[in-house]
Structure 1
Amino acid sequence: MAANSGILKGWAVTLVAAIFALGAEDSDQRLIVIAIVPVLMFWLLDAFYLRQERRFRDLYGIVRQKSDEEIDFAMETPTDQQAAFGAFVDPVNSVFYGILLAVVAILTYLLLNS
């Protein structure tokens, strides 16, 4: 699951760059505003995978402390509602997608007001 984070970040940058390239060439530059949508969607997806990874690490921590007789091989991960928000505002995700969102906002403003 850790590899998904890098892949999602790469796709986010690629898709935003493609949208800007298409918006810069077309006569209607208002299409550039659409670039905000993939940034938010990839941010949410990245947070989901980070939360899943943390839940499975927690499950592993629970199982490794049990004796062989106590292990039931259930793959039900512990649930924590605050973990979802914690994954969304994780420093790595917040900095990367925050900067990407800021760049999209600045370039959108500059292109639409030029």
Structure 2
Amino acid sequence: MGDKAMDAKHTHLNMIQGVVNRLSNNSFLLKGWSVILVSGLVALGAKESKPVFIYIAYFPTLIFWMLDGYFLWQERLFRSLYDRVRVLNPDDIDYSMNTLVVHNSTPPWISAVFSRTLLAFHGAVLITIVVAMLALIKS
């Protein structure tokens, strides 16, 4: 096992880690946009006393939740690929970023959507919308 083979392995692992970092960053940004958009719609609904804006807030919340689940699922796939490459013989490195080789060993997309972290975050956003809707209806 030569230095060149080890360098190839480190390069491949760094490529995979870069994708994981971008997916994680995308998820973070998506959560921020979700809060901003929902807050704006709820505030607009309360200011105008029009619950239709609050009802509209459900749609982006669910879309952002599903998209966040997709990012988490992709992150899990790339983490599995990382673990696979980590134990490969350095001479077998081919720089493949294809996650199909780990697809069957990673839980499906829907399990990422309903993971504890996403359920807590997006569930809290949904509960906030419900509370705002009820408060507006009662006023």
Q: TM-score range by the shorter chain?
A: 0.7 to 0.9
2:49 and 2:136 in contact (8 A); partners too? no
1:30 and 1:112 in contact (8 A); partners too? no
Pairing 1:1-114 to 2, within 5 Å after superposition: 1-26=23-48, 28-77=50-99, 78-80=102-104, 82-114=107-139
Within 1, Cα distance between the matches of 2:96 and 2:31? Answer: 32
1:23 and 1:32 in contact (8 A); partners too? yes
Identity of aligned residues (%): 38
Within 2, Cα distance between the matches of 1:22 and 1:99? Answer: 19
Within 2, Cα distance between the matches of 1:27 and 1:87? Answer: 36
Which letter maps to 2:103? T
Provide structure 1 residue ranges, at least 5 long, that are not aligned to the other structure. Answer: none
Q: Which has the higher helix share?
A: 2
Bigger Cα displacement from structure 2, 74-83 vs 45-54: 74-83
TM-score, structure 2 length as denominator? 0.74
Say how many residue pairs are matched. Answer: 114
Within 2, Cα distance between the matches of 1:40 and 1:51? Answer: 16
Q: Which has the larger radius of gyration?
A: 2
